[in-house]
Structure 1
Amino acid sequence: MFNQSGSRRWTHFRSALQLAVQRSAHKWTFEDFAECFPLYVEEDKNSASATFNSISDYIEAQNIRDLDKLFKEDYNVQESIDILHKIVQDAKERKARGEVRKDAWRENLNPRTSVCAKTIPVLEKDVARLKKQLEEAEELNQELQRQLQEVTGETDEVNQQALDIVRQLDLACEEWQKIPQEEIEGWTVENLESLKPPVRA
């Protein structure tokens, strides 16, 4: 069921809506029901009447539940109507006091001009905020780019050093391949002989 509290405007709206739901749920008559189920009504008119009333009550209750869910969860209708009611009441009180604000509605005031006067300052604040965020993001991007360039430079240097070492190893292998195999074997034998411990007398 709809919330019973709220502004007078909400109370009137809720009452009108409940009346509309009741009328729609009970719009079809028992005669309409009898035309749909003639045998059932003819055999047991009392039970048929009770069934008809139960169906009408169910339709009404279900419509109320659906509207209640829609108004509360999807659109928050009561709060919006209460806000509208407060705005109207405040305007009436200001008018009664003879108070005229700068943003008061006047017949010669262009609606577009009035809307712009309200929205442009808000939009300008948003633009300034977004510009500041953009500047901060650009500064952060520049710093990240600088760090990335430093890391890239260091990586290139390390890669170049590794490439130089590989080239030196390739050259050493090529020179090693050029040495005759006999000389290598002789040199190996000489080294092995020199490493043997001296024979004791």
Structure 2
Amino acid sequence: MSENASSSSAAKTHGNSSGAAEGSRRWTYFHSALQLAIQRCAHKWTYEEFSECFELWCKEEPDGASGVYNTISRHMEHLITTACDKLFERYDAREKIDILHAVVTEARERQKAGVLPEPDTWRADIDPRTAARARTIPILTNERDELKRRLAELESENDELQSKIQSNARQIDRNEREETARIKVLRELEAQWSSLPVEDIQEWALRTAETLTTKSVP
């Protein structure tokens, strides 16, 4: 079996690798180039070179030798492809390349349309941190203003509640003073009542009642 036949078989196998049929055009180009590089790497040791190392065996059993050669090539291609797929998954390579493609495409469209760059647009002479600040500072400023507005509302509500509490406290003080004054009057009345000669009053009341009773008899 020739090298071209084995390469064609390997290409079909690798064509089913995850991510090849999805993603942006930039990712497709990158993935296709990587696929070609993996195929070339896996088949860098050609069948002719393989047969030179095992000349007698390849002459006596050409089918078996070509089968072993293709198996080794497919195994190497599978190992490299699996390792690359794990790296892509670990670092979200396709997603990041798609984002890069979207950014570059948008920049080219804006450039063709003659749209002037925004203040937060990155340029070669601008540090990435500066561009990031230009985008994040307005957002943080809006959040700060919103927090200030909310804080002012809370302070206004707090002042209103404090005013009500102080008014209630003053009313409670007035009520306590009035109650204290009433209790004082009651205690004075009780003291005056206690100082009266109760027995003399009772005796006087009894005599008065008897006198009135006597006068009322015909």
Give me the TM-score of the superposition, normalised by structure 1: 0.53
Residue 6 to residue 118, structure 1, CA distance change in 2 (3 Å) = same
Select the residue among 46, 50, 54 that pairs with 2:67. 50
How far, CA to CA, are the matches of 1:39 and 1:19 in structure 2?
32
How far, CA to CA, are the matches of 1:30 and 1:18 in structure 2?
20
How far, CA to CA, are the matches of 2:26 and 2:131 in structure 1?
29
Q: CA deviation at 1:12?
A: 0.5
Is 1:115 the equivalent of 2:132?
no
Q: CA deviation at 1:94?
A: 1.5
**Alpha carbon RMSD of aligned pairs, Å?**
2.9
Q: CA deviation at 1:117?
A: 4.7
Stretch of structure 1 that moved more, 97-106 or 52-61: 97-106
Residue 46 to residue 117, structure 1, CA distance change in 2 (3 Å) = closer
Structure 1 contact 2–14 (Cα < 8 Å) conserved: no
How far, CA to CA, are the matches of 1:32 and 1:22 in structure 2?
17
Matches within 5 A, 1:115-194: 115-119=129-133
Which residue does 2:46 correspond to in 1? 29
Select the residue among 71, 89, 92 that pairs with 2:108. 92
Structure 1 contact 25–60 (Cα < 8 Å) conserved: yes
How far, CA to CA, are the matches of 1:63 and 1:15 in structure 2?
14
Is 1:68 the equivalent of 2:82?
no
Is 1:59 the equivalent of 2:79?
no
Q: CA deviation at 1:75?
A: 1.0
How far, CA to CA, are the matches of 1:71 and 1:105 in structure 2?
27
Structure 1 contact 33–52 (Cα < 8 Å) conserved: yes
Stretch of structure 1 that moved more, 87-96 or 15-24: 87-96
Is 1:15 the equivalent of 2:32?
yes
Q: CA deviation at 1:19?
A: 0.4
Q: CA deviation at 1:31?
A: 2.4
Q: CA deviation at 1:70?
A: 1.4
The alignment partner of 1:63 has SS state of helix
How far, CA to CA, are the matches of 1:80 and 1:9 in structure 2?
11
The alignment partner of 1:27 has SS state of coil
One-letter code of the match for 2:46?
T
How far, CA to CA, are the matches of 2:51 and 2:22 in structure 1?
41
How far, CA to CA, are the matches of 2:66 and 2:37 in structure 1?
23
User: Which of the two has higher C-alpha Rg?
Assistant: 2
1:129-170, Cα deviation, whole Å (9 max, x unpaired): xxxxxxxxxxxxxxxxxxxxxxxxxxxxxxxxxxxxxxxxxx
The alignment partner of 1:99 has SS state of coil
Residue 13 to residue 106, structure 1, CA distance change in 2 (3 Å) = closer
Residue 90 to residue 121, structure 1, CA distance change in 2 (3 Å) = closer
One-letter code of the match for 1:102?
P
Residue 14 to residue 39, structure 1, CA distance change in 2 (3 Å) = same
> Unpaired segments of 5 or more residues in structure 2?
1-16, 141-218
How far, CA to CA, are the matches of 2:65 and 2:131 in structure 1?
64
One-letter code of the match for 2:77?
E
